[in-house]
Amino acid sequence: MRGQRRRVSFLFVVLLSLVLDTGVGAQAPAPAAVTAIRAGRLLDPEAGRILTNQIILVEGTRIREVGPAVAIPPGAQVIDLSGMTVMPGLVEAHNHLALTYKPVPENNVYYFTYVQESTALRAIQAASNGIQMLASGFTIVRDMGNNGNYADTALRQAIEQGWIPGPTIINSGIIIGGMGGQFFPTPEMAKDHNIVYPEYLDADTADEIVKAVRQNVLFGAKVIKICVDCKPYGYTVDEIRLVMREAAKAGMKVEGHVQTLNGARNAIEAGIWSIAHSGALTDEMHKLMAQKGVWRAGTETPPGLAGHPVSAEAYKRTVDGLKNAYENKVPLTFSTDADYWVEGKTRGELCLEFIKPWQDAGIPNADTLRAMTINGYKVSETENSRGPIKPGFFADLIAMPGNPLDDLEALKSVQFVMKNGQVFKRDGVMTPAAFFHAGPVNGWRIR
Ligand SMILES: [Zn+2]
C-alpha cells in the first residue's frame, strides 16, 4: 500500500517533470564556436560558377558570412581548404539505408533479406550506411521505404537527437500500396502470417488509405511513399489525390513508385510531388511532368556494378530516357535506389557511380550538379534552411581537390565534410568523435 503510494507520487513527479520540461537546470549555452574556412574555389551550383579565395564563417551550426573579404574574428578556428573546391553538400533523392541485400546468402533477393534480418539489425546497418553516405559528401538523403518496422525513423531521430553522425534524413516510413505491395506472397504467407507487413502497408480502400498515411505520420515519416502501380489494381487518380490530401494535413508531399505508363499518367494527372523510377516515363510523360513540375527521381543504374548487371539495351533506354527528360526540362533529381552491397564500395561510393548515366546522357556538368544540390534541396524541402552556402543556413559543406564543374569524377574524391558546422571528415579521414554523445544532446523531443 505504502509502496504503491510512493510509486504513484514518483510517477506524478516524473509526469510533471515531462510536462514542465523547460530546460531549467541547464547551463547557459556557451558562445557558439566560430570556424573560418578558407576556400580556394567555392562552387555555386545555382549560378554554375566558381568564386576564388572565399572565406566562409561558421558560427555554431550555421553559416554566418561568406565572401572574399570576410574578417576572421580572433580566436576562430581556421580550416585551410585553399587548395580545394568547396561546395554545398550533395543530395541523394532515393535510397534505402536500412536495406542491404547481398549475393550471399540471399542471392540479392531482398525478400530473403527481409525474412532473415531484424529491424534492429537493419537500423544499425542504416546507421553505418548513413555514415558512409556522409563520408562521400551526401549531406541529405531521402530514405524511401523498405526499411523494416520504421528503422528509417529511428535513423533520422538518432541523427537529429545527436547520437550519431549522418546525413539529414527525409524518410518515408512504410511504403503504402494495394494488397501485397511489391511482394508476390503465397496465400499462406500473406493471409496466415501477414508477411507483407511491415515491408509494405496494405491500403486498398479509402479508409485504409487515410489510416495508412496517418500511421506513417504518427511513426515519424517526413514524406509519404506509395506504390502507384505495383499490382494490376494500382491506384486511380482519385486515390492518389486522397493520399496527397491526407499527407498535406501533416505538411507532407507524396512520392509515387511508378512502373507502368498508366501509373505514370495517373500520378502526373493527380499532381504528385515526385515519381520514382524512369522505366515508364516516355517523351509524352516527360512533357506532362515538365508542365506540372513533377520531380523525377529516375534511379538510373549504371552498368558495371558487380552482381548487378545491366544489359546494353536496358542501359541505352536509361540514358535515352534521362536525356529526353533533360531536353523536356523535367525537374531532375539525383537518385540511385541503392539498397544492396557491391563489394569494395561503401554505400556512398556506390551512389557516386550513378553519375555515369548523367555523363553518358550528355547533360552539362553544371546541370548534373544542380540536380545533386539545388534540386535535391527542393525535393527534400530544405531549400530555405539547409543546402546553399549562404548566411543563416546550416553549415553543410564538402570539399575536394578537383573541380566538378570541369569533371564530375572529382566528386569521388571528397576530402572534407562539414555537417551542421561540425567537421565530419578532414584530409580524407573521418573524424566522427565530436558527433557521438551518450544522450540526446539536441533534445529527446525530436521525434
Ligand atoms: Zn526504391
* Cα–ligand 1 centroid distance for 394 (angstroms): 28
Whether residue 260 has pLDDT greater than 90: yes
* Cα–ligand 1 centroid distance for 253 (angstroms): 16
CB atoms within 10 A of CB 63: 22
pLDDT at 32: 80
* Cα–ligand 1 centroid distance for 356 (angstroms): 19
Range of weakest confidence among 28-32, 187-191, 266-270? 28-32
Whether residue 307 has pLDDT greater than 70: yes
* Cα–ligand 1 centroid distance for 308 (angstroms): 15
- The x, y and z cell numbers of residue 32, run together, are 557558439
74-102 pLDDT, tens digit per residue, is 999 999 999 999 999 999 999 999 999 99
266-278 pLDDT, tens digit per residue, is 999 999 999 999 9
Closest to 71 in 3D by CA, of 48, 94, 55, 83: 55
* Cα–ligand 1 centroid distance for 446 (angstroms): 26
Pairing assessment for the beta strands 224-227 and 254-257 based on DSSP bridges: parallel
* Cα–ligand 1 centroid distance for 202 (angstroms): 17
* Cα–ligand 1 centroid distance for 177 (angstroms): 14
* Cα–ligand 1 centroid distance for 405 (angstroms): 28
CA–CA separation, 75 and 77 (whole Å):
6
Residue type at position 398? I
* Cα–ligand 1 centroid distance for 242 (angstroms): 22
pLDDT at 18: 44
* Cα–ligand 1 centroid distance for 437 (angstroms): 31
* Cα–ligand 1 centroid distance for 239 (angstroms): 21
pLDDT level of residue 28 (50, 70, 90 thresholds): low
pTM of the model: 0.93
* Cα–ligand 1 centroid distance for 337 (angstroms): 5
Residue type at position 41? R
Residue 361 sits at the vertex; the CA angle it makes with 358 and 365, to the nearest 5 degrees, is: 50
Closest to 286 in 3D by CA, of 325, 258, 315, 253: 325
332-358 pLDDT, tens digit per residue, is 999 999 999 999 999 999 999 999 999
